[in-house]
A = this chain, B = another copy of it.
Amino acid sequence: MEILIAEDDLQIALSLKKNFEEEKNHSIIAEDGQKALELASQIRFDLVILDWRMPRLTGLEVCRHLREKGHKVPIILLTALSDIANKVDALNSGADDYVTKPFSFEELSARVKAVMRRYEKSSDVIECAHFDLVLSDHLLKNGSKSIKLSDKEFELLRYFITNRGFILSKDQIAENVWKIKFNLSTNIVEATIKNLRKKLEEISNRNLIRTVYGEGYVYTPD
Binding site for B on A (CB under 8 A): 41-44, 69-72, 84, 87-88, 91-92, 96-97, 103-104, 106-107, 110-111, 113-114, 118-119, 121-124, 127, 135-136, 138, 151, 154, 158, 162-166, 221
Q: A42, A121, A123 — which one has the most chain B CB atoms within 10 A of its CB?
A: A123
C-alpha gap A72/B110 in the complex (Å): 19
Copy count, this protein chain: 2
A88 touches B70 (CB 8 A): no
How far is A70 from B123 in the complex, measured between Cα atoms in Å? 12
List of B residues within 8 angstroms of A136 by Cβ: 135-136, 138, 154, 158
Smallest CB gap from A150: residue in B:
B151
CA distance A153 to B163 in the complex (A): 30
Q: Contact: B84 with A106, CB < 8 Å?
A: yes
Q: Please, which residues of chain B bring their CB within 8 A of the CB of A71? A: 164-165
What is the distance, in angstroms, from A61's C-beta to the closest C-beta of chain B?
18
* Minimal Cβ-Cβ distance residue in B for A167: B42
By the criterion CB–CB under 8 Å, are B119 and A70 in contact? no
Please, how many angstroms separate the alpha-carbon atoms of A91 and B115 in the complex?
9
> Considering the chains assembled together, what is the distance between the CA atoms of A138 and B70 in angstroms?
20
Q: Contacts of A221 on B, CB cut-off 8 Å?
A: 70
User: What 6 pairs between A and B have smallest CB-CB spacing?
Assistant: A122-B122, A135-B136, A91-B114, A88-B110, A91-B110, A84-B107
Of chain B, the residue at the smallest CB distance from A125 is B72
Query: How far is B96's CA from A96's CA once the two chains are assembled, in angstroms?
Result: 11
| A69 and chain B: residue at smallest CB distance | B165
- Give the complex CA separation of A104 and B162 in angstroms: 31
Kindly identify which residue among B92, B110, B111, B164 contacts A110, using a CB–CB cutoff of 8 Å.
Answer: B92
By a CB distance below 8 angstroms, the chain B residues around A121 are 72
Contact check, B135 vs A124: say whether CB atoms are below 8 A apart.
yes
Q: Which of B113, B122, B135, B151 is close to A118, meaning CB atoms less than 8 Å apart?
A: B122
A162 in contact with B123 given A88-B106, A107-B88 (CB within 8 Å)? no
